[in-house]
């Protein structure tokens, strides 16, 4: 059973627009949540990690929120660029150690058009 | 230069042949992982290695084995490849498990079994 659900599955926005990606999960316990960016044919690159019960992070034009009570996270991308075209993957870690497991969402494919 | 390197990047094999996928990292990370990524699915863990000769099965170990004789090197072996092992394989490393520490991914090895 999929424990990390991402929506939308795909999204097309115009350059300069803002967008919001959603991640809902059922993983228990939920120690932390990461967002990764995966360019086509490339590996995953970490954008941010959220740890607290209600957490917010910011990394340039990327900002993220986590609400562990709702088991929900969002990734906001402001003023999108063509280079933001990629798949964005939400990952939930069930422990804070190597003994834990990482649960991967299938990703949201973002396409930024001129 | 923090990097995870995978070789080969692309590979075509016939069913029944042996496959060796190699992964190296230059960060002296204790923990290394092998995942596979299939369309529409999140990454699935094949094996995890906590250090030299300290390997554990992941969620889908059947048909695979691993070898870690040096901390910086982690190999994935398919003895007698099957067509359903066609996939993109990702290696990753982490300094001390996944708690608060980012995960570094290689760029993937695309395997086609015909």
Render pLDDT for B51-89 as a digit per residue (tens, 0 to 9): 999 999 999 999 999 999 999 999 999 999 999 999 999
Q: In whole angstroms, what is the distance from residue B51 CA to residue B61 CA?
A: 18
- Tell me: pLDDT of A42 over 90: yes
Three-state SS at A84: helix
Interface test with B, best of A43, A86, A88 (most B CBs within 10 A): A43
Among candidates B48, B59, B100 on the partner chain, residue whose Cβ is nearest the Cβ of A96? B100
pLDDT score at A40: 93
Residue B97: predicted pLDDT: 55
Distance from CA of B42 to the nearest CA of A (A): 4
Instruction: Tell whether omega for the bond before B23 is within 30 degrees of 0, i.e. cis.
Output: no
pLDDT-based confidence at A26, cuts 50/70/90? very high
Q: DSSP state, A12?
A: E
Reply yes or no on whether the pLDDT at A70 is more than 70. yes
Q: Does B50 touch chain A (CB under 8 A)?
A: yes
Window from A50-59, A95-104, B103-112 with minimum mean pLDDT: A95-104
Q: Has residue B101 got a pLDDT over 70?
A: no
Average pLDDT, chain A: 94
Q: What b-and-e string marks burial along B40-49, b requiring 16 or more CB atoms within 10 Å of the CB?
A: eebbebbbbb
Q: Is B98 in Cβ contact with A100 (below 8 Å)? A: yes
Question: What are the angstrom distances between the C-alpha of A54 and each of A43, A51, A69, A70, A111?
Answer: 29, 8, 8, 10, 29
Contact A98 B43 (CB under 8 A): no
Least CA distance to A3: which residue of chain B? B42
Share of chain B above pLDDT 70, in %: 94
Angstrom distance (rounded) from CA A6 to CA B3 = 28
CA–CA distance, B84 with A34 (Å, rounded to integer): 29
Q: Give the whole-number percent of chain B exceeding pLDDT 90.
A: 85
- The predicted pLDDT at position A95 comes to 79
């Amino acid at each position: 059973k999929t424990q990390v659900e991402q929506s939308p599955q795909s999204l097309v926005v115009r350059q300069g627009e803002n967008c919001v990606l959603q991640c809902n999960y059922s993983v228990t316990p939920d120690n932390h949540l990461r967002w990764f960016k995966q360019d086509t044919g490339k590996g995953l690159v970490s954008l941010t990690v959220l740890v607290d019960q209600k957490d917010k992070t910011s990394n340039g034009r990327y900002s993220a929120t986590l609400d562990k009570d709702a088991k929900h996270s969002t990734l906001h991308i402001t003023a999108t660029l063509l280079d933001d075209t990629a798949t964005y993957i939400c990952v939930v870690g069930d422990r804070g150690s190597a003994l834990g497991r990482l649960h991967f969402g299938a990703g949201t494919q973002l396409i930024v058009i001129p | 230069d923090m990097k995870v390197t995978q070789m080969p990047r692309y590979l075509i094999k016939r069913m029944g042949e042996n496959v060796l996928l190699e992964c190296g990292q230059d960060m002296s990370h204790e923990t290394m992982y092998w995942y596979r990524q299939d369309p529409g699915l999140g990454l699935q863990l094949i094996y995890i290695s906590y250090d030299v000769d300290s390997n554990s099965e992941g969620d889908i170990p059947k048909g695979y084995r691993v070898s870690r004789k040096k901390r910086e090197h982690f190999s994935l072996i398919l003895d007698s490849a099957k067509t359903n092992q066609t996939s993109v394989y990702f290696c990753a490393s982490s300094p001390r498990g996944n708690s608060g520490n980012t995960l570094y991914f290689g760029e993937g090895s695309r395997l086609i079994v015909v």
